[in-house]
Amino acid sequence: KAGVTQTPRYLIKTRGQQVTLSCSPISGHRSVSWYQQTPGQGLQFLFEYFSETQRNKGNFPGRFSGRQFSNSRSEMNVSTLELGDSALYLCASRTSVHFGGNTGELFFGEGSRLTVL
Amino acid sequence: AQTVTQSQPEMSVQEAETVTLSCTYDTSENNYYLFWYKQPPSRQMILVIRQEAYKQQNATENRFSVNFQKAAKSFSLKISDSQLGDTAMYFCAFMKHVGDDKIIFGKGTRLHILP
């Protein structure tokens, strides 16, 4: 079974631009979560999507948005990029509570490393 | 709101030694789940061990075990007979309800296993 796939792996943008990151979850996983990882703040929760609906949201400004498609693939978008948005963006998928054997375990992708200049 | 605190930003131990990583959390919930995740250098984050709060017995996975102190809201990870491959960032994480709730992570502990 293929793991969580994130694209692109690396990207460089300049301030004021926008960026879209993509995540394909493990087949059968309907929940996709996004995290921002920085050296000073660790992993900060951005949002979680389940069945195309945002189920949970972290404390990030409105410049950070996301969506999920009917095939469970998810995208996140950051508009008007700032230097402080430079980070590793991690996507993780997990099974639904409605599936037997759900342990709450997150399965992570390798991340998309964004550098804002 | 739930918070997770890892008080050790970085640690180093010699290979084959035992090391304990600390984690405390704050919650008013009675039932919840705690996790330790491992992020090796330039590699994907993976689950190391999981503990359900209603279980009094500490979870164990081979060389990895936890010391779960519910009243103290403490959840430490012990790595026995440490190996070079244990070098990684370790994140403690908390979740209220399986499947529906977001998972909150601490800031991590960078662990170096020295040869």
Band of residue B43 on the pLDDT scale cut at 50, 70, 90: confident
What b/e string do you get for A57-92 counting C-beta neighbours within 10 Å, with b at 16 or more?
ebebeeebbbebeeebebbbebeebeeebbbbbbbb
Contact B44 A95 (CB under 8 A): no
Give me the percent of chain A exceeding a pLDDT of 90: 78
Q: Does B35 touch chain A (CB under 8 A)?
A: yes
Specify whether the CB–CB gap between A81 and A116 falls below 8 A. Answer: yes
Band of residue B96 on the pLDDT scale cut at 50, 70, 90: confident
pLDDT tens-digit profile of B99-112? Answer: 567 889 999 999 99
Give me the percent of chain B exceeding a pLDDT of 90: 80
Contacts of A106 in chain B (CB under 8 A): 37, 45, 47, 103
Of A35, A48, A109, the CB nearest to B44: A109
Band of residue A25 on the pLDDT scale cut at 50, 70, 90: very high
Q: Does A3 touch chain B (CB under 8 A)?
A: yes
Cβ pairs A/B, distance under 8 A: 62
Q: Which residues contact A107 (CB under 8 A, 6 or more apart)?
A: A3, A4, A25, A26, A29, A92, A93, A94
Q: Does B108 touch chain A (CB under 8 A)?
A: yes
Q: Does A103 touch chain B (CB under 8 A)?
A: yes
* CA-based max dimension of chain B: 42
Question: Distance between CA A95 and CA A7 in Å, rounded?
Answer: 21
Of B97, B101, B105, the CB nearest to A42: B105
pLDDT at A86: 97
Residue B76 CB burial class (10 angstroms; 0-12, 13-18, ≥19): middle
With a cut of 80, say whether residue A101 has pLDDT above it: no
Q: How far is CA A37 from CA A72, A110, B1, B10, in A?
A: 23, 12, 20, 17
Band of residue A97 on the pLDDT scale cut at 50, 70, 90: low
Contact A105 B97 (CB under 8 A): no
Radius of gyration of chain B (CA): 14
- In this structure, which amino acid lies at residue B78? K
Nearest CA in chain B to A40: B107
Take residue B35 and report the two structure tokens written for it: 């996790």
Mean pLDDT in residue range B4-33: 95
Question: Distance between CA A50 and CA A29 in Å, rounded?
Answer: 9
Contacts of A55 in chain B (CB under 8 A): 100
Contacts of B47 in chain A (CB under 8 A): 105-106
Contact A104 B95 (CB under 8 A): yes
